[in-house]
Every structure is written in structure tokens, then in C-alpha cells.
């Protein structure tokens, strides 16, 4: 780890009633304030909405945050949203960590508010710990050759090659045997029409 002084911001989302109906988000926010290196905690109704993202960007500027933890829903849905959000605020998008307190807490513990809240606090503490170990990443780009290699000239290989070619791609079809067609070329007749397979 570098000698960088960590300044972590935690953003606790209520997700309307999706999270707040089960998880005590105010308690989670108070808990986050006491975690090491956390200098700002913001609780809001919809973190993924434009006003929520503006709060994140404002807090990054106001508190000079160099790490962000968002306690909300699954990263599968909104991780790109939040990565773009912190990047627009001038922070490397890979210095953002998410804690899924919707699917992992409120949705699976609907009848246990206390248990869901304890679990949410654990997830936030883990995310803050991970955030402290994040390292800025640069996205690399590589040239891509717009061509495809299809190995095997059986029915599936031929069909794949045709589909790719119809999509405008250069296709290279290779077959180890002396002719294409695979097993089909060895059949005398094919069901249901009993036509010649060749």
C-alpha cells in the first residue's frame, strides 16, 4: 500500500422502501461514520438517480474523497452507473466499492429487521475495508481483428461460418478432413424427408 491518506465516503441508499423497509439505514449510516478512514457518510433515497449521483460527486469534491463505498443494490445492475459517476467527479472509477444491502440483506431478511441491519453493517464494514486496499486502474484498449476462425467444417461449423459472414465478418473455416460436411457427408439419407444428405 502507498502512503496515501485514505478519505473514504460511504453512501447508504434507502432504495425507496426496497432497503429502508427492512434495513435501518440510519443506523447503518451512523455505524459507517465510526469506521476507520471514513470522512463522509451520506444517506439518500435513491443513490442511482441523478440527484443521488450529484450528491456523490459533491461529496467527492467537498470532502476530497479518494475512495467511495456505495451501500445499495447489486453491482450487477448499477456498478457501471456508479463507476461513471465517480469518474465524472475526477476519481478513478476503480476506487469505488459496492456493498449489496438490498439483495443480500433487505430482500432475504424481510421479517428480521435487526438481523438485516446487522448484516448490512457487516457488509458496509467489509466494503470500507476493501476500499482501503483498492488501487487505481487504467483501462487498456487493444486492437481487435474483425475476423473469426471456425474450427471444424461439420454442419455446426458451416452454419456458424455462414452466420458470421452474413454479419459482415471475415471468416476462416478449417477442417482436418479432405471435405466439409462432417458426419452429414457420410450419410446416405436424412430424416424426415429421406433426401440425399449431400
Q: Grade residue 101 by pLDDT with cuts at 50, 70 and 90.
A: very high
Sign of the C-alpha dihedral, residues 96, 120, 104, 49? negative
Q: Grade residue 2 by pLDDT with cuts at 50, 70 and 90.
A: low
pLDDT computed for residue 198 by the predictor: 58
pLDDT computed for residue 12 by the predictor: 97
CB neighbours (10 Å) of residue 171?
16
Q: Which residue has the higher pLDDT, 150 or 179?
A: 150
pLDDT computed for residue 139 by the predictor: 86
C-alpha dihedral over 144, 147, 153, 156, to 10 degrees? Answer: 70
**Residue 138 burial class via C-beta count within 10 angstroms: exposed 0-12, middle 13-18, buried 19 and up:** exposed
Is the pLDDT at 10 greater than 60? The verdict is: yes
- Rounded to whole angstroms, how far apart are CA atoms 29 and 104? 17
pLDDT computed for residue 180 by the predictor: 81
pLDDT in tens, 46-57: 999 999 999 999
pLDDT computed for residue 16 by the predictor: 87
Nearest to 73 by CA among 98, 93, 97, 38: 98
pLDDT in tens, 143-175: 988 899 999 998 899 999 999 999 999 999 999
What domains, with CATH codes, occur in the chain?
8-131 (3.40.50), 147-196 (no CATH)
Percent of the chain with pLDDT strictly greater than 90:
79
Helix extents (H) in the chain: 17-20, 25-33, 50-63, 75-88, 113-131, 155-166
Mean pLDDT score, 59-65? 96
Q: What's the mean pLDDT when you consider all of the chain?
A: 91
- Rounded to whole angstroms, how far apart are CA atoms 128 and 96? 10
pLDDT computed for residue 196 by the predictor: 64
Percent of the chain with pLDDT strictly greater than 70:
94
Q: Which residue has the higher pLDDT, 66 or 194?
A: 66
Cell of 188: 446416405
- Rounded to whole angstroms, how far apart are CA atoms 177 and 152? 9
pTM > 0.75:
no
pLDDT in tens, 105-152: 999 999 999 999 999 999 999 999 999 999 999 988 899 888 999 999
Amino acid at each position: 500500500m502507498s502512503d496515501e491518506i485514505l478519505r473514504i465516503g460511504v453512501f447508504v441508499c434507502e432504495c425507496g422502501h426496497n432497503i429502508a423497509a427492512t434495513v435501518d439505514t440510519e443506523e447503518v449510516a451512523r455505524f459507517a461514520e465510526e469506521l476507520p478512514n471514513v470522512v463522509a457518510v451520506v444517506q439518500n433515497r435513491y443513490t442511482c438517480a441523478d440527484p443521488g449521483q450529484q450528491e456523490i460527486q459533491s461529496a467527492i469534491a467537498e470532502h476530497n474523497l479518494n475512495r467511495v463505498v456505495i451501500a445499495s443494490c447489486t453491482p450487477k445492475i448499477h456498478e457501471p452507473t456508479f463507476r461513471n459517476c465517480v469518474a465524472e467527479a475526477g476519481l478513478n472509477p476503480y476506487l469505488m466499492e459496492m456493498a449489496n444491502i438490498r439483495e443480500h440483506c433487505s430482500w432475504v431478511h424481510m421479517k428480521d429487521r435487526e438481523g438485516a441491519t446487522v448484516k448490512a453493517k457487516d457488509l458496509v464494514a467489509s466494503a470500507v475495508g476493501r476500499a482501503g486496499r483498492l488501487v487505481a486502474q487504467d483501462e487498456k484498449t487493444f486492437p481487435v481483428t474483425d475476423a473469426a476462425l471456425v474450427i471444424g467444417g461439420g454442419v455446426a461449423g458451416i452454419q456458424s461460418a455462414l452466420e458470421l459472414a452474413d454479419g459482415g465478418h471475415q471468416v476462416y473455416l478449417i477442417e482436418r478432413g479432405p471435405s466439409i460436411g462432417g458426419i452429414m457427408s457420410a450419410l446416405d439419407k436424412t430424416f424426415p424427408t429421406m433426401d440425399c444428405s449431400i
